[in-house]
Every structure is written in C-alpha cells, then in structure tokens.
C-alpha cells in the first residue's frame, strides 16, 4: 500500500493556516432572536505555537498571515428544530493594530435563530434555502514558487459553531495534500501537476500549475501543495491514485505515478496529508508518458469543383458611367485577371467585351482593378487566378466594407465559391452590401482557415436566403458575432448552417434585427458545444413566434444570454427547459425584454445553477405576461441582481410566494415589479430569504392595483434604498405597523408613500426603529385623503436633513401636531405642506427644533384654508435664507403677524412670497425691517388684494437686486411715495439699478382712491442704458401723483392714469 501518511492535525490559519474564532465580545442582542439587531463577533488568529500555526517559508523569511480590512464571513442561522432561518455576511469592523491576528466582525443577527454556523471565506461558500452549505475550491490551482504555500490563502475554508453561545471553535472544512519529491533531475522545471483519484462517483481531478522563480535557482521542486475537499477526493476500495507531472515547454516531458489502493482512502476534514512519491517502494509506479504518434495517413487528394481557378460575382448597375473598383486589399499571391462582363459597340456595329485586366503576382492589388460601366445593366464579373495548387492563396484579400468603392452598393449575387484569399478574413467581408440577394452554396469552401465571420453579412438587407452549406468547410471558425445583423429579408435559417462549426464560441448578435425571420431550426446549435456567447443573438426578430425547445440543449459551455430574444414582439410562447442544460450561464439580462405577447413563463426555464448572477430586465415590458412559475429561479443561490426583472409587466396578476426563495445572495430588486398594474396583492414571504438585499428602489412603484401590503414583507436588514418603492400605489388604504421592522439600515423614506390617495392614517411609531434616516422628501406627497399626522412621528429622527414635500398635496389634512420635526440638522422644508388646502392653522412651535433650516420655499403654497400665521413660526430658524413662494395662493390669509420674519436676518429670497393672497389687505410695518440681506422681492405681492402698504416697507433692504412685478395687478392698492425711501433719497437708493420692471403694473385700477407712487420715473438717467430693468414699471397703473394720461417712457409706455 502506498505510504500516504497522516500528519498531526493542525488548526489551519486564515490563508495558509487558520485560527480560533471567538465570541467573547459578542453583544447581548444575540439573545433576542425575534429582532434583527446589529451585533459583533471577535476573531483571533492564534499564537506562533508550531502546533497551532504553520510557518511558511518564502524567500527565506517567515510568511505570517493576519486579518485584513476586506475579510468577510458568512453566518448561517437555524432554530431549535434545525430549520434554516437565514444567513448574514459579517465584515471586519476593527483590527487590533497591536496584534493583527485579532479582529472584530460586524453584522446583523438572524431572527429566531438559536444555533449559528460561521464560515470563512464567504466567497467560497454557498447556502441553499434549506441551509445546506456548498463549498467551492478550484480544480485548477497555482503555486507561485518552490515549496510555497502562500497561494493556499485563497483556498482555505473554515467552519465554526456556537452551541452554548460560547466561543466559535473554527475547524477547517478542507484538507491539504503535500506531494513530496526527493530532489531529482527528472523533475526539474516542473510546470504542471495533475492529481487524479477513482472515487465512488467516478474520477475526480485537481490540477496545479507552478510558476517557479528562476532567479533564485529553484529549478528543482521537492514539495507541491494542493487544497482539496476530503469527501470529493476520497479513493474508493480498489481505486487508483494517479499523479502526472509535466515539465516546461522546453523539455516537454511527462511522468505519471499510478498505484492502486486496495482498501481505498477516506480523507478527513482539517488534516494535513503527505504523499511521498519518491519512496523506494514506489519505483515501479513511475513511468515516462509519451504521446503516441499516430501513423501518417495520406491526405485524400482534394478534388475541387471545376473550375477551381475562377470565381464569379454579379453587379447591377443602375446608372450610366458608374465607376467600380474591385475591393482587393494587399498584394496578389498569383497572377490575377478580371473580366468585367461588359460589352461595347465596335466601329463595324458589332459588340465586343472590354479587354481583361491582369495584375501580376506580388503586385499591390489595392485600387488596381478599375472599370467604368457606361450603361445601366446586369454584369457578371469573372476573377481568375494562375494558382492551381490546392490550399495555396489565389487572390488578395477582399474587403468590401472599407475598399468597396461602389462595389458593395451594386453587388447582387456571389455566384461561385470564393477563390482562396491571402490572409483571408470574414470580418466585414460583405458588410452593407445592401443589394446582395444570394450567395453560392459552400461559399467559403476554399477559405476553410477563416476564424472570424464577425459582421460578415451585416446590413445585407436584400439577402433572402442562406445556403445550408455556407460554412460547411469552416470547422475552425470561432466568431459569428453580428454575422447576419440586419439581414431584413431573411425568412429562415437552414438547420445545418453551423453543423460543422464545432469550434464556434461567439454568436453575439448573430441574427440581430432579422425582422423577417419566422422560425429557428432546433438543430441550429446542436454541434456548437463550445459556444459561450448568445447575447442578443435573435434581438428584434420581429416575426419570430416560437423557439424550439432544444435549441441550446447541447450548449453547456454557454455563459451569456443577455438580450437573446429581446424585442421579439411576435413571440407568444417560451418552451420549458430552454436553458436548463446551460449550467455555465452567468446572466439573462433583458433576455425576453419587450416580448409583449408572451403570456406565461414555463417551469424549468433557467438552469438550476449557481453560476447565474443576474436577471436585470429579463422580462421587462412583457405586457401580456400573466403568470410566473414559483420555481423560475430555483437553484440560483448566487444570483444577485433582479432589478427591473418584471418591469411594466402590466397584466401580471400574482407573484408566487417562493419566487426568490433560492436567491439568497440577491441584493438588488430595483424596479423589479415597476408598474405591474394588475397586481392586487403581495405574498407575505416574498422576500423572506433575501436577507442580503440592499435596494428596492421603485420596486412596486405604479402598481396601481395593489390594495394592501402584507405584514413583514421585508426580511432584509441590509436595505438602504426604498425610495419610491410604493409610489403611486393609489389603492392602498393602510400601512402595516411593522412594515419596516426588519429594515434597520434605511437612511431615506423619500417618496415612499407618494400617491397613496386612499391612505387615511399613519400608524404611530411607524419610523421609530429607523434612527439613521436623513430624508423624508415627498414621503406622503399626494396622500389626498390623509386627515391627521400622529404626534411624535419624527421625534426620534435627529439626522434628517430634508422634509421637502413631505406632506405636499395632502389636501384633506386639517391640522399639524406641535413640534412635529425634531431634527436639529434639517435644512429643507420646501413644499412641505404645499397644497394642503384644508389646513386651517399651524402651531407657533412647528419648526422650533429646526435651528439649521435654510429653505422654506413653497412651504405653505396653496394652503387655501389657512387664515392666520403664528408670531413665532420661524423664530428659531435664524439660518433661513429662502422664503420664495412660501405663502403664495394662501387665499384665506387676512393678516400677517408683526414679527413673522424678525429673526430671519439671513433671509435673501422673498420672491412670490405672498403672491395671489387675495384676502390679504394690509401688511405690518416691520415685515421686512430686519431682513437686511434680502435680494429678491420679485412678484412678492403680485395679484393680491392689498389696499395699502406701510411707509418705508423696504427701507432697510439695501441689497435687493430685483423688485420685478412686486405689486403687479394689485388692483385695489393705493400706494405711497415712501415705500422704498423718501423721495429725496431715490437716486441714491437705486444707484445700483435693481430690476423694477412691472413693479407697479396695473395697480389701483379698482382702488377706492388713488395713491401716490414713488417717483421712480425720475431715474431716467440711471436706467438710461438698462431699460429692460425698468420697463413697464407703472404701465396701466392708476396714480395720484401723475398729471394727465402721461406716457412715462420705458417706465410706463402703455399709459399711466391719474385720479379722476
């Protein structure tokens, strides 16, 4: 029996070896399993005791491993009956700088979990919806240099449990095999090692590549390390144990060690095994492996069709005197002759062909073959080569895209196979030959070495059919991307088109925009087992109605299907199992997007594979889709992104509760069910297993059919983005009190309930657990039947910066609680109560705790039932700068308090502030006295019913830049001369030329008596070159201090009327 000895078990340290993981600093919140709470775990790497930490020698120094800032562990939770309750990812919170073997990890507890398991590293671990854990170790590993174990840092997996809630005792899950060699010249320059064992489940193999540093004279290796999972590599009784070693590319020698283990070998987790392959007893087990040389078989003589020395193409010339250049590129490999197929009239009245044009071998053929067709017609061109030996290049490369010179615009058919091109490529070969109708069968039979047909027939809009043997000889071709892109008239694809293309890997956009294509043969890709990319392959095939069930059955290497059938607007059904065998697929983004006639999705559509990561917009805007199978994403345990997956599926009626049960790593549900208007309810456990989700931005926005939300819809403690999640869900009448219970990390409730026009009440304490929220912008905007706000709703939210539009459009709201907003850092209350047309009063301490507030623009706009304002409404808002539109259209407001703005000395903008306040008839004397930094009073009282204004209303506002339309259309206003200052000081006051255009436009026309206006028309010299700033200042005004119907120039060009 082979001498494979088991060394003493060691605690494998993080990376090459590992540590104990402790919970000594674990917070007590772990003891409350009903809640998701933040908690910590402490992890320690052990001391340098050789029994605990293996030292690794690299470059003759000790290589030691420590925790790093990016380390992450997976925590899996179970209840007392071992039922899986969820998983969490914990990240390093703090590393002890004095001893980096000690660190603290932070994450969230798992509700109802009594038992926990911990795994490191998280990227090597996958958990299914039953809590079963899978581990991932690469079957191809790399050892950087001689005897180094450094590379094992990425291939160590550890597990720990916390039964009894004590220290997590971390144990390695995998094992290490060390292949020991006595220095032997036979093994110098070793580059690869392959370890193969016979198991109960067949042969299992791990390979290792070695990258040795020649500068250290380490060309002879004596130790090779491999990390492996013990269960997968255990040898069955009587099974073989093989090791194959291959030298580098220079010596190219292969040696194989083979022995049989009668009793087999069962490996155990966490053990360190050594296989001493150079033990004397195994001398007979080694042999040098030589690749057997196959006897040479004479190649069958190729008998090409006759003739093999010429090819024919047909042009259709539509106008006389058309110049054509044969699109050759490069030098001719043989003598080449061209017959243009064109006749001319001889002197004696007969017809004769134009002479052939010849280019000798080795001559540059670019732009050489030129001809002018003097008459419209159809002409067949014949190209001849002097090269008759099979396999030899006959003509220079063709390039119709870049060297077309009218050739590609007039080519209608390729009548024979192409002669063999020198360095021939299929790339863009017939690109945008828009009149090309047909090509010869086996067109590329003499160009079998072409590797790429990328864009070969792109834009051949007249091509109606493809010959089945088109690529018959192209067995080496790999790239068919964009090959038939926008072949608009192509109606069908021959089933054997790619039968011999066994090397093909890329079909990206192969049939993109083939709008006339009606069906796809099931055998099309049967032999394309190496194909990896089918993204957008059939994008916008508008007439395609169905897909064959086994189209991709053999495409087990395929990774990309993004947009594969996007915009196939006639597609009505999708076959079950279409992608079931594509276990390497990584994403199905936009795969069926805009397939708006598909009504159902079959079961078993996608592979139950952990390779799949993304379903972004997969069924986006499938407008007819009504039903989704519950197992649609079964087995996709590592899928992360479902953003816009069912976006605008407007007829989708229900969502199965277990739809995302296997998507344990899902983190993005942005717009997932956006505007699914037929949805009436959501299952309670829809996101039960998606504990790592972070974004539900607009997830159910526009789902206008939803009437209620389930309790505890979100079991997602890492969510940070819920903005607009239920925007415009206008039929939902109540908010579940614990809707946000598990969403501890939320920082924003922007527009969350926006458009809920059936919502009558807000539950008390709704946001109490979300203390880190910074924004409630538009949170309850347009909740049109909301009548009350619970007291203390925002009492605990001290980090909020914006309440902008929070209750905008809540037109049945009658009152607001006192001291509603607690945040001392809130800066914006713009539009906060705009459109609250039933609001009759506000408390004087409403904003008393918001010392940082700067913006109140539109705050009470159109509060048309508001009759009065409290004296101290803005008393504590000393940093406020913006009151623009603040009370515009408050049409029940009859008076203003004396000290409304007395404390707002930083205020700059009062534009439209009291515009359209039609019952406000007078102003307090000191309304703006203390607002000395104000710059904007444009439209401030426009369209109001003011009868008088105080003298010196703006006397202290010396920094104003605009009074534009300030009193526009105040029809009952009788002004006074000293609104701005005394008449004698006007020139000084207006020296900086503030905008006074339309300031008093149409005032006084309905006043009981006319009043005198400030004599601004005397400032003609100041505004001489700035007439736009004073234009129509008094136009249509009725004043007492202007004699006659006086035209005041730019200040009043439409007439100023005196008191009559």
Lowest average pLDDT, out of 140-144, 150-154, 327-331, goes to 150-154
Q: Say if residue 168 is in the same domain as residue 180.
A: no
How far apart are the C-alpha atoms of 544 and 1006, rounded to whole Å?
Answer: 72
Number of domains in the chain: 6
Does residue 1026 sit within a domain? yes
Virtual torsion, Cα 738, 744, 749, 754, nearest 10 deg: -30
State the average pLDDT over residues 947-963.
Answer: 95
Does residue 85 sit within a domain? yes
Domain boundary among 689, 717, 746: 746
Residue pair 549/577 in contact by the 8 Å Cβ criterion = yes
H or E element in which residue 76 lies: strand 72-78
Q: Say if residue 811 is in the same domain as residue 719.
A: no
Per-residue pLDDT band for 45 (boundaries 50, 70, 90) equals very low
How far apart are the C-alpha atoms of 801 and 632, rounded to whole Å?
Answer: 42
Q: Are strands 239-247 and 190-199 parallel, antiparallel or unpaired?
A: antiparallel
| Per-residue pLDDT tens digits for 67-109 | 677 888 888 888 889 888 888 888 888 887 887 767 777 887 8
- Percent of the chain's residues with pLDDT above 90: 59
Q: Scanning the structure block, which residue is given the tokens 């590129």? A: 329
Q: Say if residue 284 is in the same domain as residue 365.
A: no
Residue pair 978/953 in contact by the 8 Å Cβ criterion = no
ω before 58 within 30° of 0 (cis)?
no
Does residue 219 sit within a domain? yes
Q: Say if residue 983 is in the same domain as residue 1060.
A: yes
How much is the pLDDT for 289? 74
State the average pLDDT over residues 281-308.
Answer: 58
How far apart are the C-alpha atoms of 501 and 555, rounded to whole Å?
Answer: 13
State the average pLDDT over residues 713-727.
Answer: 86
How much is the pLDDT for 13? 33
How much is the pLDDT for 71? 82
How far apart are the C-alpha atoms of 511 and 517, rounded to whole Å?
Answer: 9
Q: Say if residue 714 is in the same domain as residue 796.
A: no
How much is the pLDDT for 28? 32
Q: Say if residue 182 is in the same domain as residue 165.
A: no
Domain boundary among 746, 779, 805: 746
Asked if residue 489 has pLDDT above 90, the reply is yes
How much is the pLDDT for 843? 93
How much is the pLDDT for 7? 34
Q: Say if residue 794 is in the same domain as residue 819.
A: yes
Distance of CA 620 to the CA centre of its chain: 14
**In the chain, what is the straight-line distance between the N-terminal and C-terminal CA atoms, in Å?**
127
Q: Say if residue 817 is in the same domain as residue 947.
A: no
Average pLDDT, the chain: 85
Does residue 580 sit within a domain? yes
Could you tell me the pTM of the whole model?
0.75
State the average pLDDT over residues 571-584.
Answer: 95
As beta bridge partners, residue 125 has 135
| Per-residue pLDDT tens digits for 550-565 | 999 999 999 999 999 9
Range of the domain at 828: 762-893
H or E element in which residue 987 lies: helix 986-989
Domain boundary among 398, 428, 443: 398
Lowest average pLDDT, out of 164-173, 819-828, 919-928, 951-960, goes to 164-173
| Per-residue pLDDT tens digits for 195-225 | 999 999 888 887 777 764 333 344 556 778 8
């Amino acid at each position: 029996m082979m001498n494979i000895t088991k060394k003493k078990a060691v605690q494998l340290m993080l990376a090459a070896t590992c540590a104990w993981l402790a919970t000594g600093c674990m917070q007590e919140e772990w003891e409350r399993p009903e809640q998701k709470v933040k908690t910590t775990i402490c992890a320690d790497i052990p001391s340098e005791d050789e029994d605990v930490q293996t030292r690794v020698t690299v470059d003759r120094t000790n290589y030691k491993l420590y925790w790093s800032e990016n380390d992450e562990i997976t925590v899996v939770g179970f209840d007392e009956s071992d039922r899986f309750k969820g998983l969490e990812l914990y990240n390093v919170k703090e590393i002890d700088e004095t001893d980096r073997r000690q660190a603290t990890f932070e994450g969230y507890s798992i509700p109802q979990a009594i038992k926990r398991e911990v795994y490191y590293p998280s990227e090597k671990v996958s958990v299914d919806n039953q809590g079963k854990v899978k581990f991932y170790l690469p079957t191809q590993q790399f050892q950087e240099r001689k005897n180094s174990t450094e590379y094992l840092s990425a291939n160590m997996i550890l597990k720990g449990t916390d039964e009894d809630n004590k220290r997590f005792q971390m144990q390695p899950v995998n094992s290490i095999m060390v292949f020991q060699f006595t220095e032997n010249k036979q093994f110098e320059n070793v580059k690869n090692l392959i370890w193969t064992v016979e198991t109960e489940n067949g042969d299992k193999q791990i390979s290792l590549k070695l990258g040795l540093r020649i500068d250290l004279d380490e060309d002879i290796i004596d130790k090779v390390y491999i990390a492996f999972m013990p269960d997968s590599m255990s040898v069955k009784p009587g099974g073989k144990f093989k090791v194959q070693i291959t030298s580098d590319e220079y010596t190219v020698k292969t040696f194989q060690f083979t022995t049989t283990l009668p009793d087999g070998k069962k490996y155990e987790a966490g053990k360190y095994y050594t296989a001493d392959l150079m033990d004397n007893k195994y001398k007979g087990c080694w042999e040098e492996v030589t690749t057997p040389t196959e006897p040479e078989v004479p190649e069958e003589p190729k008998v090409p069709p006759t003739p093999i020395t010429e090819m024919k193409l047909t042009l259709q010339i539509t106008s006389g005197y058309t110049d054509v250049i044969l699109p050759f590129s490069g030098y001719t490999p043989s003598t080449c002759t061209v017959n243009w197929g064109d006749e001319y009239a001889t002197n004696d009245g007969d017809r004769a062909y134009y002479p052939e044009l010849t280019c000798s071998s080795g001559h540059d053929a670019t732009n050489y073959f030129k001809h002018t067709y003097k008459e419209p017609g159809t002409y067949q061109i014949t190209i001849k080569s002097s090269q008759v030996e099979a396999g030899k290049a006959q003509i220079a490369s063709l390039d119709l895209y870049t060297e077309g010179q009218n050739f590609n615009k007039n080519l209608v058919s390729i009548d024979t196979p192409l002669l063999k091109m020198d360095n021939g490529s299929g790339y863009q070969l017939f690109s945008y030959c828009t009149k090309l109708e047909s090509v010869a069968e086996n067109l590329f039979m003499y160009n079998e070495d072409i590797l790429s047909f990328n864009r070969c027939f792109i834009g051949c809009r007249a091509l109606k059919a493809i010959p089945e043997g088109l690529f018959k000889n192209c067995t080496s071709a790999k790239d068919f991307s964009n090959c038939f892109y926008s072949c608009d008239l192509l109606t069908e694809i021959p089933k054997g088109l790619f039968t011999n293309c066994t090397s093909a890997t890329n079909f990206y956009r192969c049939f993109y925009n083939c709008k006339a294509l009606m069906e796809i043969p099931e055998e099309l890709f049967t032999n394309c087992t190496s194909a990896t990319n089918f993204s957008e392959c059939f994008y916008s095939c508008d007439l395609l109605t169905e897909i064959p069930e086994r189209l991709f059955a053999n495409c087990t290497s395929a990774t990309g299907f993004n947009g594969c059938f996007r915009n196939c607007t006639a597609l009505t059904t999708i076959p079950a199992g279409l992608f079931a065998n594509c276990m390497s697929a990584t994403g199905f983004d936009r795969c069926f997007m805009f397939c708006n006639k598909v009504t159902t999705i079959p079961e078993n559509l996608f592979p139950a594979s952990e390779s799949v990561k993304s379903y972004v917009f997969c069924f986006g805007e499938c407008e007819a889709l009504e039903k989704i199978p519950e197992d649609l994403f079964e087995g996709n345990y590592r899928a992360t992104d479902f953003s816009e997956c069912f976006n605008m599926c407007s007829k989708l009626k229900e969502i199965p509760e277990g739809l995302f049960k296997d998507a344990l790593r899902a983190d993005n549900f942005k717009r997932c069910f956006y505007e699914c208007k037929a949805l009436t309810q959501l299952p309670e456990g829809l996101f039960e297993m998606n504990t790592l989700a972070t974004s539900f931005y607009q997830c159910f926005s526009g789902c206008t059919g939803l009437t209620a939300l389930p309790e505890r819809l979100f079991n997602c403690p890492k969510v940070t983005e819920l903005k607009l999640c239920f925007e415009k869900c206008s039929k939902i009448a109540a908010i579940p009190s614990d809707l946000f219970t598990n969403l501890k990390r939320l920082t924003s409730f922007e527009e969350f309930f926006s458009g809920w026009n059936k919502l009558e009440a807000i539950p008390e304490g709704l946001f109490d657990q979300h203390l880190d929220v910074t924004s409630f912008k538009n949170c309850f905007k347009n909740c049109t039947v909301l009548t009350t706000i619970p007291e203390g709703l925002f009492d605990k939210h001290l980090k909020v910066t914006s309440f902008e539009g929070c209750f905008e459009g809540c037109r049945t709201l009658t009152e607001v609680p006192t001291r509603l907003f607690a945040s001392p850092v809130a800066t914006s209350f713009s539009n906060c109560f705009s459109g609250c047309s039933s609001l009759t009063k506000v408390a004087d301490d409403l904003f008393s705790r918001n010392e940082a507030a700067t913006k109140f623009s539109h705050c009470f706009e159109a509060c048309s039932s508001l009759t009065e304002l409290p004296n101290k409404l803005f008393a504590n808002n000393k940093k406020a700068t913006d009151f623009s539109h603040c009370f515009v259209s408050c049409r029940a407001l009859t008076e203003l308090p004396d000290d409304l703005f007395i404390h707002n000395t930083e205020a700059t903008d009062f534009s439209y502030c009291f515009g359209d306040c039609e019952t406000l008839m007078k102003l307090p004397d000191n309304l703006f006295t203390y607002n000395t930094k104000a710059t904007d009073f444009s439209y401030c009282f426009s369209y109001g019913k003011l009868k008088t204004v105080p003298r010196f209303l703006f006397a202290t506002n010396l920094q104003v830049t605009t009074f534009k339309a300030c009193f526009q259309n105040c029809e009952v206003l009788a002004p006074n001369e000293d609104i701005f200052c005394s008449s004698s000081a006007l020139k000084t006051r207006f020296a900086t030329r503030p905008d006074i255009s339309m300031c008093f436009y149409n005032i006084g026309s309905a006043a009981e008596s006319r009043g005198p206006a400030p004599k601004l028309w005397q400032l003609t010299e100041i505004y001489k070159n700035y007439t736009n700033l004073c234009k129509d200042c008094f136009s249509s005004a009725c004043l007492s201090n202007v004699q006659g119907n006086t035209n005041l120039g730019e200040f009043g060009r439409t007439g100023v009327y005196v008191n009559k």
